[in-house]
Structure 1
Amino acid sequence: MSGVLVRAATPDDSRSIAQVHAQSWGEAHAGRVPEALSERIDVDLAAWRWSARLRGATPPGGEPLGAAWVAVVDERIVGFSSAGPARDADLAPTGAELYALYVLAAHYGAGAGAALLEAAVGTGPASLWVLEDNPRALAFYAKHGFAPDGAVRDDDRWGGPLREMRLTR
């Protein structure tokens, strides 16, 4: 396996990002969320939404993307991240928010996650939302200076609700 290359995502990456999202969601959340939630990720719909976002549009029913990056190993996308301005009104508008960071389990610990995090939010003030019951993600973000700030929410976009906590740095 060669090293990790992180680069800006392009519209041509849309299907690969959607596939990585579907697979990595299942890998990261197995046993923590109902299996039916993982099965609801529609790769075709997600690829279409990513394509629109990476072209600068906001698809119907979707959210603005911000910027996006992919991690590539051996010419294959193995992870992605996206980030933009903090969306929570109680946070400083100068901070970034990590909207998404997913890496295939086969590439855990190989530097893709850290490289995607740095590409997305740098090393300055930032925030993100993560499932409360995700010890691996919580440890990863703690290693990179993030800590819970006390904010929690129930995310029902997936038919949940899923309990999330906000981490800030």
Structure 2
Amino acid sequence: MTAVAVRRAVPADAAAIARVHVRGWHEAYTGRMPQSILDRLDLDRLTRVRRELLGHEQRLDERELGAARPNHTERTHDLGRTWVAVTAGSIVGFAVSGSSRDDPPVAPVELYAIYVLAAHHGTGAGQALLDAALGDESASLWVLADNPRARAFYARNGFRPDGAEKDDTSWGESISEVRLVRE
């Protein structure tokens, strides 16, 4: 088995992250969310957005050089931090975490996204990404209510439902999500 390395993402990773995002959504969500949402995923647009976000992260990191490196709870509330899992020179997964977006926050850190290509499930890539993005801090995340594989992964990492649910309509159709929290 090829080793998995995790590192902070840089703007040059944008296209590979966008590919993982699109393919990962299709692998994880086909049959679990409206197909019309999956059909609207635009690789070029996601690449542009990700490149811009990673450029912003890089500028923040450059400003922090020389100062004590921030720990997970000292992240800026804006866009979070992105990590990539690399196997044999290819990005096979990514994770994004940052300050909680919930009002009021239930934990200082939120996992915004984590995706690993299906061919790399069970290799440790997801665990390595989660560990890099969150450490062992208290954290929260929102997960598709009908996503048993992801929910089992989060449960193994100490996340439990806290009773909060929402219907995300940002895609123009309703997607049921539940919040998980790790103390």
Considering the TM-score relative to the shorter chain, is it more than 0.5?
Answer: yes
TM-score (ref. length: structure 2): 0.86
**Deviation string for 1:14-57 (max 9, x for gaps)?**
00000000000010011111212111111100000010001117
Using the TM superposition, give the Cα deviation of residue 90 of structure 1 relative to its aligned residue in structure 2, in angstroms: 2.4
**Which runs of 4 or more aligned residues in structure 1 lie more than 4 Å from their structure 2 counterparts after TM superposition?**
none
Q: What residue ranges of structure 2 are gaps of 5+ in the alignment?
A: 58-76
CA distance in 2: counterparts of 1:129 and 1:168, whole angstroms:
9
CA distance in 2: counterparts of 1:50 and 1:86, whole angstroms:
20
Rg bigger for which structure?
2
Equivalent position of 2:160 in the other structure: 147
Is the contact between residue 79 and residue 113 of structure 1 (CA under 8 Å) also seen in structure 2? yes
Equivalent position of 1:60 in the other structure: none
CA distance in 2: counterparts of 1:151 and 1:86, whole angstroms:
14
Using the TM superposition, give the Cα deviation of residue 97 of structure 1 relative to its aligned residue in structure 2, in angstroms: 0.2
Report the RMSD for the aligned CA atoms in angstroms: 1.4
Is the contact between residue 53 and residue 64 of structure 1 (CA under 8 Å) also seen in structure 2? no
Correspondence for 1:95 among 108, 113, 116: 108
The 1:123/1:72 distance shift into structure 2, 3 A limit, reads same
Amino acid at match of 2:56: G
Equivalent position of 1:46 in the other structure: 46
Q: What residue ranges of structure 1 are gaps of 5+ in the alignment?
A: 58-62
Using the TM superposition, give the Cα deviation of residue 89 of structure 1 relative to its aligned residue in structure 2, in angstroms: 1.7
Q: Is 1:69 equivalent to 2:83 in the alignment?
A: yes
Equivalent position of 1:105 in the other structure: 118
Identity %: 51
